[in-house]
Structure 1
Amino acid sequence: MSTTPLRALPLETLRRRSSTKWRTYPEDVLPLFVAETDYPLAPAVTAVLAEAVASGDTGYTPADPGIRDAFAGFARRRFGWDVDPAGVRSTADVMMGVVEILRATIRPGDGVVIMPPVYPPFALCTDEAGGIPVSVPLTDTGAGWEIDLDGVDAALAAGARAILLCNPHNPTGTVHSAATLAALAGLAERHGAVVISDEIHAPLVADGVVYTPFLTAGASAARVGFAVTSASKAYNLAGLKCALMVAADDATMRVLAGLNPEVEWRTGLFGALAAVAAFDEASDEWLDALRAALAENRALLGALLAEHLPRAVYRTPDAGYLAWIDLSAYNWGDDPAAFLLDAAKVALHHGPQFGAEGAGYARLNFGCSPEVLTEAIARIGAVARS
């Protein structure tokens, strides 16, 4: 039985929101930049938050708010991944988890492999943790993006001691194969390095795409790896501040257990309550409806670009609601988003912020209504034709 796609909220409702997406630009700008979505919350999330407000449940987050077991159940249902709740700890957000794991596993000045074009905080948080970003760009095969395993091997041989993996990848939407992840784990183990895998977009992998949680990609991956994830991207809960750090080996579990207690105290109570509700089986129907809506928008975006921006290069992402679009053929400079904000009144994310490999690119968030997406691409197309 097909799933009815989730419908986005109307613009007049969205413009009453106070989040970054809706308060950064004036009302004549269509905001398709930051990773927030325009859909109503999952009903179970709304219910638990409303009850918390009604009862004044706004205190400190308890040591075990139920999120370990909730995530383990979700991972088993959705990914076939058996997570030991004992290997799960929480914190405020994914990048905070990355910083704290780096601090626990590298020495100041150690190299940390990042794979641009990649989420801009990867480099910033490496700096915060005392590491030095070592760029090993993804390889553009002409059909997609792949990890440069030889480049990673060389970086580790030169002294890098950690790898920041993004899987599913932001901004390209790439889901790396199990074989690639196993090979990456083998390199890390051979060189005495760790892999920290940001898997925040995993709940939104497209139908027909095989997603492999890094920690399941073989014995080496379990020994060298940490996963960091959250309900925040799929369920639009970023402001509630709750993320999970996951380990699957006795040694890596000890690393998480040894983190400063403040790391876990930073978990937001509303974030924990909402995440438990999101990961519950009762929210699976909502998640499937969201995934159906995003599948339609992935296809719609391709059709709109073919119609209005035929020289743009767009590869349908394997996951998520972020599109990485090469606009260099239009000669709008290294940062097309900066030009289009003024020329088209459409806010996209700036390609060069994802690394030098982002020159000529922009990232577009299609987690919106088909009508908003259509209007945005029509506006950009009008600029291209002028």
Structure 2
Amino acid sequence: MSVTPLQALPLDQLRERTSAKWRTYPDDVLPLFVAETDFPLAPAITRALADAVRLGDTGYTGPDPGLRAAYAGFARRRFGWSPDPARMRSTCDVMMGIVEVLRGVLDPGDRVIVTPPVYPPFYDGIPEAGGVVERAPLRDTGEGWELDLGGIDAALAGGARAVLLCNPHNPTGTVHSRETLAELAAIAARHGAVVLSDEIHAPLTQPEATFTPFLSVSEEAARVGLALVSASKAFNLAGLKCALMVASSEEHAAVLRAMPAEVEWRTGHFGALASVAAFAPESDAWLDALLAALDENRRLLAELLAEHVPGARYRIPDAGFLAWIDLSALGWGENPARRIRREARVALHHGPMFGDEGTGHVRLNFGCSPEVLREAVARIGALVRS
């Protein structure tokens, strides 16, 4: 059954927003950098927040706002996975969850593997938790990206204690296969290591790809892993501050329970209310319509780049609303986003922030209207022709 794509809000209405996407640069810049999307909220979320404002329900987050059960139901419907709500704990966002989990499983100075190019806050969160970053870059197969399992194995054999996994991967949009994740779990189990799986983009996996929650892959994965999840990327709720830390084993559930109470108190009350509404069955149709819109845009972007920026290298992502684009052939230096913003008036995320593998790259947010996407790429194309 075909799904009618969700329509983005008009640009003049979006410019009334006061979030980072719309206040970082002047109005003549098209902002396609930070991971905010341009769509209306799911109706259930709007109702939940409006009811809270009407009631003045703006206090501290309650002891059980229904968040854990709501996510368990969402995971069951969307991923065929039934995590135990009793083995979850909330906090304000995924990165804070990563830091707190790492504090619970690491000794100071332990090395944590990341798989660049990867989400820039990983490089800051690991030292905040007392760890040291160790790199095991993704492998470019010529058709896509995959984990370098041999490199991860060698790093763990050399003393690294944990792997910080990004699945689906930011910025490439790669959805790692069940087989890859099972092998990663086996490697981690062999070395007595922990795998933290950031699954914030999971709800945005396109239908032809299959997202597999790491903790569901095998008994080994359930034993060595913890997951970090949130409604914030899919439902555009980042400012409301709510995420879940999820364990499968009793050992890791004990790590979550041992965290200071303040970790859970940081959960935003509006974030919890909005996330419960997002994870509810009534928001599934909205999410499907969003996925349809993003599917059209990820394919449109390929056409636009071929037409206007023929030197660009871009692979259509499996998930999310972020495009990883190699502009090295254009000769615009290590960080082409700077010239694009300055001369084309389009703001993109700086590739080198994702690691050395980001040299010559940009990350583009296509969670917008097709019209905005066309205008942005046309502007970049004009810069190419000049």
* Paired residue type of 1:175: V
Q: Which residue in the other structure is 1:199 paired with? A: 199
CA distance in 2, matches of 1:261, 1:190: 33
Q: TM-score, normalised by structure 1?
A: 0.99
CA distance in 1, matches of 2:309, 2:104: 47
User: Matched residue of 1:134: which SS?
Assistant: strand
Q: Are 2:52 and 1:52 aligned? A: yes
* Paired residue type of 2:156: L
CA distance in 1, matches of 2:288, 2:150: 38
Q: Unaligned regions of 5+ residues in structure 1, if any?
A: none
CA distance in 2, matches of 1:224, 1:260: 22
Superposition pairs of residues 232-311 of structure 1, within 5 angstroms: 232-311=232-311
User: Matched residue of 1:33: which SS?
Assistant: coil
- Residue 146 of structure 1: how far off its partner (Å): 0.7
* Residue deviations 1:145-165 (CA, integer Å, cap 9, x gap): 110111101111111101000
- Quote the RMSD (CA, aligned, Å): 0.5
CA distance in 1, matches of 2:278, 2:175: 23
Q: Are 2:316 and 1:316 aligned? A: yes
Q: Which residue in the other structure is 1:357 paired with? A: 357
- Residue 217 of structure 1: how far off its partner (Å): 1.0
CA distance in 1, matches of 2:297, 2:253: 39
CA distance in 2, matches of 1:28, 1:108: 46
* Residue deviations 1:67-110 (CA, integer Å, cap 9, x gap): 01000000000000011111111000000000000000000100
Q: Which residue in the other structure is 1:332 paired with? A: 332
- Residue 350 of structure 1: how far off its partner (Å): 0.1
- Residue 30 of structure 1: how far off its partner (Å): 0.1
- Residue 214 of structure 1: how far off its partner (Å): 0.4
* Residue deviations 1:126-149 (CA, integer Å, cap 9, x gap): 010010000110011111111011
* Residue deviations 1:256-306 (CA, integer Å, cap 9, x gap): 111111110100000000000000001011000000000000110000011
Q: Which residue in the other structure is 1:211 paired with? A: 211
CA distance in 2, matches of 1:36, 1:269: 20
How many residue pairs get aligned? The number is 386
Q: Which residue in the other structure is 2:129 paired with? A: 129
CA distance in 2, matches of 1:119, 1:142: 22
- Residue 252 of structure 1: how far off its partner (Å): 1.1
- Residue 330 of structure 1: how far off its partner (Å): 0.3
User: Matched residue of 1:103: which SS?
Assistant: helix
User: Matched residue of 1:325: which SS?
Assistant: strand
Q: Tell me which moved more, 242-251 or 360-369.
A: 242-251
CA distance in 2, matches of 1:144, 1:339: 27
- Residue 216 of structure 1: how far off its partner (Å): 0.7
Q: Which residue in the other structure is 1:222 paired with? A: 222
- Residue 202 of structure 1: how far off its partner (Å): 0.4
* Paired residue type of 2:175: V
User: Matched residue of 1:5: which SS?
Assistant: coil
Q: Tell me which moved more, 94-103 or 186-195.
A: 186-195
CA distance in 1, matches of 2:326, 2:342: 19
Q: Unaligned regions of 5+ residues in structure 2, if any?
A: none
Superposition pairs of residues 89-238 of structure 1, within 5 angstroms: 89-238=89-238
Q: Which residue in the other structure is 1:15 paired with? A: 15
The share of aligned pairs that are identical, in percent, is 68
Moved over 3 A (4+): none
Q: Which residue in the other structure is 2:344 paired with? A: 344
CA distance in 2, matches of 1:248, 1:303: 43
Q: TM-score, normalised by structure 2?
A: 0.99
CA distance in 1, matches of 2:239, 2:94: 12
User: Matched residue of 1:26: which SS?
Assistant: coil
* Paired residue type of 1:234: A
CA distance in 1, matches of 2:337, 2:344: 10
CA distance in 2, matches of 1:58, 1:214: 35
- Residue 197 of structure 1: how far off its partner (Å): 0.3
* Residue deviations 1:324-361 (CA, integer Å, cap 9, x gap): 00000000101010110001000000000000000000
* Paired residue type of 1:127: P
- Residue 249 of structure 1: how far off its partner (Å): 1.2
Q: Are 2:25 and 1:3 aligned? A: no
